[in-house]
Amino acid sequence: MNQNLSQQPDSRLAAERRAVERLYAAFNQQDPDLLDTAVTPDWNDIPLAPGQGPGPEGLKPIIRSFIAALPDVKITIQDLVQLPGKIAVRGEISGTHRGELFGIAPTGKAVSFRIHEFHELDGERITTTWHMEDWFGLFLQLGRFPAL
C-alpha cells in the first residue's frame, strides 16, 4: 500500500496543501526548481502553454520567462477548496511588466489578472493541474495583444 495513502486525513491534507503552495512559490520565490517538490515527474499540466514541454521540466522555462517579464511577480491564493486528493484554487497574478511578455515589449505597467486551477494530488505531490488564466484581461491592461 502506498505510504501516502495511509496517512491520517489531516496530515494528508496538510501535505497536499504544501505541495500546491510550493507550486506558486516557484513563481513568488523565483525558484523554478521548487516544482520538483511540488509536482510528480510525470505531472500533467492542462493545457500546455505554446512551446511548453511535459512535466515539471516543461514548465521551468515558462516560469523563468514569466519572471523576466514581471520581475516582481506574485501569485496570491484568494480561495482554496480542498478534499483529499483534490484542491481548487482561485488566485491572482500581479506584477510590473518590465520585460518582453508573449512578444509584447515592456510597458512598465502594473498588472493583475485572475487564475483558476484544479489540482489532483497523490497524497504528497500534484499529479495533474487544469488551469485557466485571464490572459484577455492582462492584455487589456497592457493595451496590447500578442501578434498572431
Domain regions of the chain by residue span = 3-142
Distance CA 72, CA 99 (A): 11
Q: What is the pLDDT of residues 22-76, one digit of tens each?
A: 999 999 999 999 999 999 999 999 999 988 999 999 999 999 999 999 999 999 9
Distance CA 19, CA 7 (A): 15
Q: In this model, does residue 82 exceed pLDDT 50?
A: yes
Phi, psi of 4 (to 5 degrees): -65, -35
pLDDT at residue 148, as a whole number:
74
Q: What is the pLDDT of residues 125-142, one digit of tens each?
A: 999 999 999 999 999 999
Note the pTM of the prediction, 2 decimals. Answer: 0.90
Distance CA 24, CA 70 (A): 15
**Nearest C-alpha neighbor of 76 from the set 92, 63, 90:** 92
Q: What is the CATH number of domain 3-142?
A: 3.10.450.50
pLDDT at residue 10, as a whole number:
85
Q: Residue 103 contacts by C-beta under 8 Å, 6 or more apart in sequence? A: 146, 147
